[in-house]
Chains A and B, each alone.
Chain A
Amino acid sequence: MKLALKVTEIEQLSPLVKRFRFEDPKGASLPVFSGGAHITVEMPEGDTIRRNSYSLISDPYDGSGYEIAVRREDRGRGGSLYMHRKLSEGDDITVSTPANLFQLDLRARKHVLIGGGIGITPFLSQLKQLDMEQKPFELHYAARSREEAAGLKLLPKAAHIHVHLSEEGARMDLGAILDGQPMGTHVYTCGPEGLIAAVADQAARLGWPKSTVHSEAFTAPPPGEPFDVVIASTGQTVTVKADQSLLEALEAAKVEINYSCRGGVCGRCRTKVIACEGRILHNDHWLSIEERAAQKDIMPCMSRFKGTRLELDL
């Protein structure tokens, strides 16, 4: 379901990050959500609609508006640039209702939240939920410098909220964070791939069960070289432009396809490959290593193609 909202606030949090607030034009209450949820924002430009998903950073129980924080990616496909340069207070904006692919496991006895850089965003709504439910937690936020740490303006000051700024010599020590946590603790990481892998590795070394280790690598689809795909049912050829994702190109060509997260994590847009002469550039977090190698499936929201022929079962 889609919501037609208005941009009511834009705030520069750091040189690269802006906070946006959206509200219903008539002041109606929006659906509440759960900590870690995201919305998909529509960005119409010319004849295409770009859609990016962003974690909600506002209070999950507050239906008066939705807030997101967007980092400007100068080498991205232009979604974040649209948000930073084209959008003004008072503009109309269409967003999806919230969905959550990174929810808290509320059975946990304690929650350890680790955010790197812009990866702090899902935790901003989660910590409000944890406060509300009075669940024990600690949050660790790692950023390069005070200037770049957009999250600083959004985090409450509390003893269980720790900020690690590497430029100030306070690098995050994952061993110290994870060692000695009480039985039944769950850890959640969002940020660069390297951080997610380091947390998983450290947790495994300390004997944490796999299902207590959660992560979300929220990335917008990367740009790349243009390529063509053939739609098996109609024989139609669709060209994917350099700054377009395969999913966006299919949508622009009116090819019906299911989606949800648009970030390669939910699995909804998984599509069968009928013919592949070349190499699929898998950028998702859904397919296994074996599935990637087989080149029988593709996640159109994130992945691209290099080669002579790619035919999809659509």
Chain B
Amino acid sequence: MPKTEFSPSIESRPTYPGLTSQGSAPAIMVADAAGAEALVDLVATDASVMDHAHVVLIAKAPELAAKLTALTPKALHEAPDLDAATPLVTQILDTAKMGTQLYLAGSEGVIGHVSALAFARGLPMEAIQSEHRGSIARRMQCVHCKGITEDVTTDPFVCAHCDLTLFMRDHFSRRLGVFQAVCVDAETPGVVPATEEIRP
């Protein structure tokens, strides 16, 4: 699946320009199943990018893990989901040195969450490379109860925590790494627009 092209939006909406090799520097790469293909494509442009790379694969997919191992990174770490990957990625970030390159690939949820972890450790946003692949489902934070709803593909949607019907917005929090959703019928309770599938 190729790199996703999103339609232009407000300034806070993240964009994902794609991965470009910074050569044989120390690197941290985090990808989900769809994002793994972006790493394969990256290596095709420059095999040396894997020389000092720690790769974190967020997927239950032994065949993908084998494919990434064949690219000979310094180390391959596997985690079944984003929650399980978080302490792993945090530990790798905490021991990384300046000059380490960060490559993120996959869904907006993975890219946003790992970017926020790196951002909280002082890494500037422009030093983080990212490429969107696969599902356009979003991780949405309800601004009312602060709960995060995973894999949201419709607008409006129902908060998994407080049951409010929420309007999906492009407003993105870099600090939290999630899109912000707000109650759609606060002024006119019960008057909810028709549900639509989101588009890129």
Contact = CB atoms under 8 A, between A and B. Distances in A.
Contacts of A178: 98
Nearest to A207: B99
B109 to A, nearest CB: 22
B15 interface: no
Interface residues of A, number: 20
B96 A183 contact: yes
Contacts of B13: none
A304 to B, nearest CB: 36
B97 A209 contact: no
Nearest to B92: A183
A206 interface: yes
A208 B98 CA distance: 6
Contact of B121 (A105, A183, A206, A211): A183
Interface residues of B, number: 19
Interface string A206-232: 111111100000000000000000000
Interface in B29-46: none
A207 B98 contact: yes
Given A183-B97, A209-B127, A211-B126, A107 B119 contact: yes
A272 interface: no
Contact of A206 (B94, B98, B119, B127): B98
A183 B119 contact: no
Given A207-B25, A207-B99, A107 B122 contact: yes
Contacts of A110: 122
Interface string B151-191: 00000000000000000000000000000000000000000
B122 A185 contact: yes
B141 interface: no
A108 B118 CA distance: 11
**Of residues A105, A107, A184, A206, which shows the largest number of chain B Cβ atoms within 10 Å of its Cβ?**
A184
Contact of B122 (A109, A180, A210): A109
B124 interface: yes
Interface string B119-143: 1111110110000000000000000
Contacts of B19: none
Best-buried of A185, A207, A208 by chain B (most CB within 10 Å): A207
B124 A182 contact: no
A182 B98 contact: yes
B22 A183 contact: no
A251 B59 CA distance: 67
A183 B101 contact: no
A183 B124 contact: no
Contacts of B99: 206-208
B93 interface: yes
A207 B118 CA distance: 16
Contact of A109 (B22, B100, B121, B126): B121
A164 interface: no
Interface string A281-308: 0000000000000000000000000000
A109 B123 CA distance: 8
A209 B25 CA distance: 13
A181 interface: yes
Contact of A211 (B93, B97, B127): B127
A107 B124 CA distance: 9
Q: Which of A108, A182, A211 has the most chain B CB within a 10 Å cutoff?
A: A182
A181 B97 contact: yes
Which are the 4 A-B pairs with shortest beta-carbon distances?
A184-B122, A207-B99, A209-B127, A109-B122
Given A109-B121, A182-B98, A210-B126, 20 more contacts: A107-B120, A107-B122, A178-B98, A180-B97, A180-B98, A182-B94, A182-B96, A183-B97, A183-B123, A184-B98, A184-B118, A184-B122, A206-B98, A207-B22, A207-B98, A207-B100, A207-B101, A208-B99, A209-B124, A211-B126
Interface of A: 105, 107-110, 178, 180-186, 206-212
27 contacts: A105-B122, A107-B122, A109-B121, A109-B122, A178-B98, A181-B97, A181-B98, A182-B94, A182-B96, A182-B97, A182-B98, A183-B93, A183-B100, A183-B118, A184-B118, A184-B122, A206-B98, A206-B99, A207-B25, A207-B98, A209-B124, A209-B127, A210-B126, A211-B124, A211-B126, A212-B122, A212-B127
